[in-house]
Amino acid sequence: MINELKEKLEKINNLADFNQLKVIYLGKKGLINQQMANMKNLSSEEKKEFGAKVNEQKKACEALFSAKEKEIHKDMVDKLVKDETIDVTMPGYKFNNGTIHPLNQTIIDLENLFIGLGYSIAEGPEIETDEYCFEKLNLPKGHPARDMQDTFYINPELLLRSQTSPVQVRTMLAKEGKPIQIICPGKTYRRDADDATHSHQFMQCEGLVLGKKITLADLKGALLVMARKILGPDMKIRLRPSYFPFTEPSVEVDVSCHKCGGKGCSMCKNTGWIEVLGAGMVNHHVLEMCGYDPNEIQGFAFGIGIERITMLKYGIEDIRNFYSNDLRFLKQFKEAK
């Protein structure tokens, strides 16, 4: 049997034939196990002698198969090394690098600017309480200004925040009357119908500064620096009177139209100005509810839409492009700084 197996193994040069021959000899129904089955007709002494010989044959077969398997694997490796040579002069594979999303780039620019001005970055939960999102911002239940924001309510007391202003409230309560200088970028949600300029989910960046002798002039200075950093060094701004429950006085902030340079065009509706954000001095009532003495501490707040200024910066006409995951659109901003 052993000599016969050696001859058969010498003729084999691939794993398929090798495995097939191994099953014939060492499988459950192979030749070795068939010999073991014949022991039932032998006496006790004969079984002992016969079993020893069968075990010797089995070990010899296993050794031959093991040696042949190593030989086949070595031949396969040698063939691969010979056939699959590497041409080091050929160019390598091109890997497409990812890009920073334009909205994230705008947030990065804002954070870098305000951190350089001494601000801190504050964060808060996207699922907020009615108290922090409305009541402590001078919007009690039944206040008509609540109709300005179509809110996603989870239950009467919990909601998806419609603005990042609750982060300001949480920060004021945590600071317990101490000065504050923060911005808080993040996602917000409103029940808006999606179109070219509106989305049910969008991003905002709120700013809050509290301290002694803070004035509207300080607010204008901060907004002018921000506009020139994000939209261009030649930007001008103007403040128009407006109304927000949590600021008094309140202002709408316009920037000079970057397309026409303030001369008037279709983009700015021939006014030379484009509205970008709302701001104002923090309402005395809000300060009191958050533990501040309005006679000692004053401050300003502003809220800017990230999509809004990003669209202005890059000349994007449809807000839905930000969320379409279209690589053709996103690759345009690979070098955006």
Note the pLDDT of residue 89. Answer: 82
Q: In which region does residue 98 sit, left (phi positive, over 0), alpha (psi from -120 to 50) or beta (all else)? A: beta
Tokens of 216: 């509207």
Note the pLDDT of residue 183. Answer: 96
Considering only residues 84 and 147, tell me which one the structure prediction assigns the higher pLDDT: 84
What are the DSSP calls for 252-285, one per residue?
A: EEEEE-TTTTTS--TTTTTSSEEEEEEEEEEPHH
Which has the closest alpha carbon to 246: 189, 179, 167?
A: 167
Tokens of 109: 């620019």
Which has the closest alpha carbon to 68: 23, 8, 26?
A: 8
Considering only residues 224 and 62, tell me which one the structure prediction assigns the higher pLDDT: 224
Contacts of 106 (CB under 8 A, 6+ apart): 230, 306, 309, 310, 313
Confidence tier at 62 by pLDDT (50, 70, 90):
confident
Residues 185-212 pLDDT 10s: 999 999 888 888 888 999 999 999 999 9
Residues 303-325 pLDDT 10s: 999 999 999 888 888 899 999 88
List the CATH code of the domain at 102-333: 3.30.930.10
- Amino acid, res. 305: G
Q: CA–CA separation, 323 vs 124, rounded Å?
A: 23
What are the DSSP calls for 65-131, one per residue?
A: HHHHHHHHHHHHHHHHHHH----TTS-----PPP---HHHHHHHHHHHHHHHTT-EE----SEEEHH
Note the pLDDT of residue 212. Answer: 94
Residues 260-297 pLDDT 10s: 777 888 777 888 898 999 999 999 999 999 999 999 99
DSSP letter at 334 equals: T
Q: Highest mean pLDDT: which of 57-66, 98-107, 147-156, 211-220?
A: 211-220
pLDDT at 145 over 70: no
DSSP E strands: which ranges in 157-286?
Answer: 158-160, 180-189, 201-211, 237-244, 247-256, 273-282
Mean pLDDT score of the chain: 87
DSSP letter at 5 equals: H
Q: What angle do CA 325, 162, 185 make, to 5 degrees?
A: 65
Number of separate helices (H) and strands (E) present in the chain: 11, 10
Confidence tier at 335 by pLDDT (50, 70, 90):
low
pLDDT at 33 over 60: yes
* Exposed/middle/buried for residue 221 (C-beta within 10 Å: 0-12, 13-18, 19+): exposed
Residues 223-253 pLDDT 10s: 999 999 998 898 999 999 999 999 999 999 9
Considering only residues 160 and 142, tell me which one the structure prediction assigns the higher pLDDT: 160
Which of 47-80 are b and which e, b meaning 16 or more Cβ less than 10 Å from the residue's Cβ? eeebeeebeebbeebeebbeebeeebeeeeeeee
Taking the model in full, what pTM does it have? 0.69
pLDDT at 337 over 60: no
pLDDT at 336 over 50: no
